Structure 1
């Protein structure tokens, strides 16, 4: 095989791309990955990982501010050094960025540095990287290939997504921020307006509130985190408002006036009344859109819909030999969905027996605000809408010994079962560490576990996980500790 010829070329080295490349190499396929900005993609460098580092700093700040409730006294005032907080976050990303490079070498995957364009099925041209959306652009790692023509029988597009901008409220990097700027402030603002209450918006709202910033969240829909179960959303809203967040739902930012060092957001409620809020910055968190431009998709006739590439259950597009995975292939736009989607795609290509399309009902969602929110499967409303006769179980954190001992007793777990079959249809949580707990229910759903299986599972004591079993017992009138 020629030096520039491969079995598989993957465009994009985010979680979907690099995991797919590793699985391809494990299956004996000659593999290359193309990257134009930074190994690890947005998730590792500017998304999932560095935001969690920021939120960890916020969590410690929250605990310190309530040290007296734990019988502890801190000398002096707890202050956040914004430069050090940001530096720690960037350091975490840098460490993992280097780890991806190591994994590419370990698995003998060629890294091609540049910007790829599909010229025909089985061929790409890699040119110099255009100016990136994110600064600074990482230099090409040692040992990478560069510009040229490369061929592969299978080409997988994994180019991810970028922040969506609303007309007239476009981010400018100074007063109107996306998550890129919000992640590395030069100084801590005194006030913020956050436009959008999805995972990105609420996580940044939570972080900045912990740092003492006056935060107003504006959400178009009826509830914050509108994809979540309504009961969980309402619980989370009360907890967030108790922490001092100002939350406006069924409202929209219609206009933003800019001054030298501040913005004034014009906010219209459902009745049409307009109010104005002045703040240091506005964070635009109204979603993301797939990076489908300048790839040559139109030339080859690859079908797209609403800014994403259309695929089947195995990542195949309508053009033979071209595939897509991750954010660029549509929602839910989550790193773990991208990884699993990529593994399904490459195993199908390699002819691995027993490969099944992804079941989107079993993809967990997590929001790392304070309190955390996590869910999988159908909400109560969706379950009813689909015609299920359901049983619903609930369990409050304030009845759990471990939660009380941790001083984290504000939370709730909710489970939804099909009354006839005992099938677990959905699980929804709000409270401390629920992003770690949710996987127990994901495994249960994947194994088609019934309520009886869960009731007969022994959970360790004292743990937060005990609440998972209690919520199941509650659905069947058998709760023990409430």
Structure 2
């Protein structure tokens, strides 16, 4: 590939070298999409994968976590329906809960496996790839010379140094937590990002004694302080959180029954030393891209101090002018499934011969959702990004604490901020904690993608009574703060 393809060492020349047009390394969401798309333009292609041939989403991510959250939601609604005059005694069968999570998870994963099994056997290689100094891919006992390489090696849970040895079998990550045969008695969750927050609340609602730790006074990656504070207030009603805490040490010791127990030594927000003890410690401190041991530097690819590729084309994943594409979680850009899917499609299309007929997807509007309750969602530009840009903006808001349908449903805790551009009358972004956040932010994403102004969005129908009427209230607040307010004949909040 480029000048690297002309190199050949004695060691390499002693083996038979298989030459391909394209080699895809990694068979997760991004890699599979890249392989399928590239296969439409060349048959001389291979995909190399180390580990399971499904996806992180289906196997250890999106789907099993949502299955657990679904069970937790049923349990929570059953236990706390007394406000509606409905009283019930709830018994949670932990083994049945986890059995359903695993069986349904395996069902989702089987669809991916079935698709992969339909690919030609000679194009699939199971093994760990390494790129040598000649730019050749070594896998098992084979050498592969690829004209173009797509790296889609994904990511793995980040575990702080030494914690794996200290915690031993009491350590959980998102990669193994769904393999538990039964619900644990107690659990510490380290990290209040999307994974930590979702799992901490789900296990809590299923009767597990959970304590959530985070070093910052922040949850769900929120960057709007008002939304963050509201999220902490809403979530704190049924979730024990130690925010602004500093983990000093972790380990195991025998408890009063001589059973092995995990411990977490930490300083609380007031600087006092404390200790938590329990059955498991779930480490949710983020994920790191699986690229360090690949030998990517032998392709003249430079990485920064966080293993992120420099000179990255965020549309295709291409590195500079090299025929090297790094996509999905491997490029540590935006580690979300829909982004990985689009990047895989774009990279697989971009490697068309001479880049003709390439069908590259433009990057989507940033959109992230945390499936806790109430949900947390962000779309478009964040408030810090807007402030840094120098754009003149207004913030429209609505509280869901007294919003009609939200109160009817008993889910009335939340806040939405919409950031409007005063110059263009268009939406720059939004941040939210509240009911139906996944749907509200999708509507806003469509509006931003299609360059809709506030008036155009307000001219669309908002059915009554729905939680989505809260979106209209926030949009009206944006419009009222613009230079020329939108005049509406209906000025009542939420139409009631």
TM-score (norm 1): 0.86
Moved more, 322-331 or 401-410: 401-410
Residue in 2 that maps onto 1:340: 342
Task: Give runs of aligned pairs for residues 388-407 of structure 1, distance below 5 A.
Answer: 388-407=391-410
Residue in 2 that maps onto 1:291: 290
Give the aligned CA root-mean-square deviation in angstroms: 2.7
- Tell me how far apart the structure 1 counterparts of residues 36 and 449 of structure 2 sit (CA, whole Å): 24
Please point out which of 377, 381, 397 is paired with 1:378. 381
Offset at residue 357 of structure 1 (A): 5.2
SS in 2 for 1:174: helix
Residue in 2 that maps onto 1:169: 163
The verdict on how the C-alpha distance between 1:413 and 1:270 changes in structure 2, with shifts beyond 3 A counting, is: closer
- Tell me how far apart the structure 2 counterparts of residues 14 and 216 of structure 1 sit (CA, whole Å): 32
Structure 2 runs not aligned, ≥5 long = 1-15, 255-259, 481-485
| 1:58-87 CA distance string (max 9 Å, x none) | 11111111234445454xx32222222222
Offset at residue 376 of structure 1 (A): 1.1
Offset at residue 389 of structure 1 (A): 1.7
**Greater gyration radius:** 2
Residue in 2 that maps onto 1:279: 278
Residue in 1 that maps onto 2:106: 94
Residue in 1 that maps onto 2:483: none
Q: Is the 8 A contact 1:217 1:246 kept in 2?
A: yes
Is 1:152 matched with 2:155? Answer: no
SS in 2 for 1:242: coil
Structure 1 runs not aligned, ≥5 long = 128-146
> Number of matched residues?
457
Offset at residue 42 of structure 1 (A): 2.0
- Tell me how far apart the structure 2 counterparts of residues 227 and 148 of structure 1 sit (CA, whole Å): 47
Please point out which of 79, 90, 111 is paired with 2:124. 111
- Tell me how far apart the structure 2 counterparts of residues 154 and 91 of structure 1 sit (CA, whole Å): 38
- Tell me how far apart the structure 1 counterparts of residues 319 and 291 of structure 2 sit (CA, whole Å): 13
Residue in 2 that maps onto 1:358: 363
The verdict on how the C-alpha distance between 1:19 and 1:152 changes in structure 2, with shifts beyond 3 A counting, is: same
The verdict on how the C-alpha distance between 1:3 and 1:257 changes in structure 2, with shifts beyond 3 A counting, is: closer
Q: Is the 8 A contact 1:118 1:295 kept in 2?
A: yes
TM-score (norm 2): 0.84
Q: Is the 8 A contact 1:195 1:201 kept in 2?
A: yes
Offset at residue 457 of structure 1 (A): 1.6
- Tell me how far apart the structure 1 counterparts of residues 162 and 324 of structure 2 sit (CA, whole Å): 36
Task: Give runs of aligned pairs for residues 14-413 of structure 1, distance below 5 A.
Answer: 14-26=28-40, 30-74=44-88, 77-104=89-116, 110-119=123-132, 123-127=136-140, 148-170=142-164, 172-243=167-238, 245-260=239-254, 261-269=260-268, 272-305=271-304, 306-310=306-310, 311-313=312-314, 314-318=316-320, 320-350=322-352, 351=355, 352=357, 355=360, 358=363, 362-413=365-416
The verdict on how the C-alpha distance between 1:100 and 1:235 changes in structure 2, with shifts beyond 3 A counting, is: same
